[in-house]
Amino acid sequence: MTVTSVEPWLRGTLTEVDAVRRAVLHALELAREDVERWSADLSDAELEAEPLGLPSVGRQMRHIVRSLDRLLSYAEGRQLSVEQLEALKTEANASILRQALSAEFESGLASALARIRAFRSESYGESRGVGRKMLPTTVAGLLVHCADHTQRHVGQLVTTAKVIVAMRS
DSSP string, the chain: -PPPSS-GGGTT--TTS-HHHHHHHHHHHHHHHHHHHHHTT--HHHHT--GGGPPPHHHHHHHHHHHHHHHHHHHTT-PPPHHHHHHHHTTTSPPS-HHHHHHHHHHHHHHHHHHHHH--GGGTT-EEEETTTTEEEEHHHHHHHHHHHHHHHHHHHHHHHHHHHHHH-
Domain extent at residue 40:
8-168
- CATH at residue 75: 1.20.120.450
% of the chain beyond a pLDDT of 70: 97
pLDDT tens column, 96-148: 688 999 999 999 999 999 999 999 999 999 999 999 999 999 999 999 999 99
Quick: pLDDT tens for 58-73: 999 999 999 999 999 9
With respect to residue 88, please indicate whether it lies within any of the assigned structural domains.
Answer: yes
> What mean pLDDT comes out for the span 25-47?
97
Q: How many domains does the chain have?
A: 1
Say if 1 falls within a structural domain: no
The answer to whether position 108 is within a domain reads yes
For residue 161, is it within any domain? yes
> Is 3 among the domain residues?
no
pLDDT > 90? residue 95: no
User: Considering the entire predicted model, what is its pTM?
Assistant: 0.94
